[in-house]
Amino acid sequence: MRYHGVDLHKGSAAVSIRDEVGHEVRYVARVETASYVATLGQQDSVALESGCGSFLWAERIQRRGARCIVIDPYRFRIIRDSWHKTDRHDAGALSLALWTSAQSGELATRGVAADSRGEGVAAAILALAATEQPEPPRGPDPSRP
């Protein structure tokens, strides 16, 4: 099994790949996203940082037979609280979290990620949206004069 952390950009991505024991075996600073996805298969598990287009890419990754998880970076403490916000750090943190999750199951059970495998993109969007409910507006009740 290979564990991929992907920091998506417009048309390209930064990718960190870990092996079965959690060592980063490859880092690619910039790869064209479609050509990267074409290399994936059933031996791959991918964590994407949520953003514009992430669920589109999650669907394409699934079609290749790989498992894909979309992670909200604002709820993922390692990225959210990072003082070293770089593509390499984010991709590495995602691949490490995915590898750790495979070992312990903790990431998926804490509501941080939306797993789109077997559920389709719509279910993954709903799962992610359920964790991001905004606070209701506060102020005067408009129904009272």
Rg (CA), the chain: 17
- Tokens for 46, please give them: 């991918």
54-67 residue pLDDT tens: 999 999 999 999 99
CATH class (in words) of the domain with range 2-125: alpha beta
Please say if the pLDDT value at position 32 is more than 50: yes
Nearest residue to 99 via CA among 36, 47, 31: 47
Place of tokens 């498992």: 67
Place of tokens 């799962």: 127
106-143 residue pLDDT tens: 654 333 344 444 444 444 444 444 444 444 445 565 55
Q: What is the mean pLDDT of residues 32-53?
A: 91
- State the pLDDT at residue 61: 95
Please say if the pLDDT value at position 5 is more than 70: yes
How far apart CA 78 and CA 37 sit, in angstroms, is 25
- State the pLDDT at residue 117: 43
- The domain ranges of the chain are 2-125
